[in-house]
A and B are shown apart, each in its own frame.
Chain A
């Protein structure tokens, strides 16, 4: 579900970047990037199986 929301959020950011106010687009992009990093950290809990 979180990925659907992230895709929806990026569409909204793109539309605001194209039609809306620049500071709003930049601010929302920042929030989106933080949400992406949080999602990455949430999913990056598996042990890495390195070959060394």
Chain B
């Protein structure tokens, strides 16, 4: 795999992270399901997955960049596994609504495990780490730059919506209203 192809794959992975963050927003705003503390932590760790690809696009592919995404994926898998176990008891309806038969935290666990497998798979291709003297577009070209700014914008939007939801105190275990909007009205 050439460096250029690896950078394209890294840009695609950023679009995948953006899709996950957008899907979480769809549940929040269309279905009016506010994310619980563990759900927010899983969102943060999905966003953390994006730091490795951003570094790969800016500085070129390096094993250490993949390693930090791998660490974020493992932490995300641990957090989502805990939430799956919290609702594993027979008769437990789970938190929030289900999508195609699985709750969001189950999809999150599947997503984090898929990320671990894909990161391990891409690390198999050694040629991406060798200098191939190909003339690469600065910072990955428009396709990659759009992916980077999309992920940054969605994460920045989460700063605002999380502040609105949780306010300046601890986030509710089962949030049903935006704390800051409640005080404003």
- Are A and B part of the same complex? yes
| Chain A residues packing against B (C-beta within 8 Å) | 1-4, 6-8, 10-11, 13-15, 17-18, 22, 25-26, 29, 32-33, 36-37, 39-40, 43-44, 46, 48-51
Question: Is chain B's binding surface mostly helix, strand, loop or mixed?
Answer: helix
In the complex, the answer to whether A17 meets B55 with C-beta atoms within 8 Å is yes
Total contacting residues, chain B, CB less than 8 A: 45
Number of A-B residue pairs having CB atoms within 8 Å of each other in the complex: 106
Show 6 residue pairs from A and B whose CB-CB distance is below 8 angstroms, ordered by the A residue.
Answer: A7-B47, A14-B152, A43-B37, A48-B86, A50-B89, A51-B90
Question: Is chain A's binding surface mostly helix, strand, loop or mixed?
Answer: helix
Of residues 123 through 175 on chain B, the ones whose CB sits less than 8 Å from some CB of chain A are 139, 148, 151-152, 155-156, 158-159, 162-163, 166-171
Residue of B59, B64, B79 with most chain A CB atoms under a 10 A cut-off:
B79
| Chain B residues packing against A (C-beta within 8 Å) | 37-38, 40-41, 43-45, 47-48, 50-51, 54-55, 58-59, 64, 68, 71-72, 75, 78-79, 82, 85-86, 88-90, 92, 139, 148, 151-152, 155-156, 158-159, 162-163, 166-171
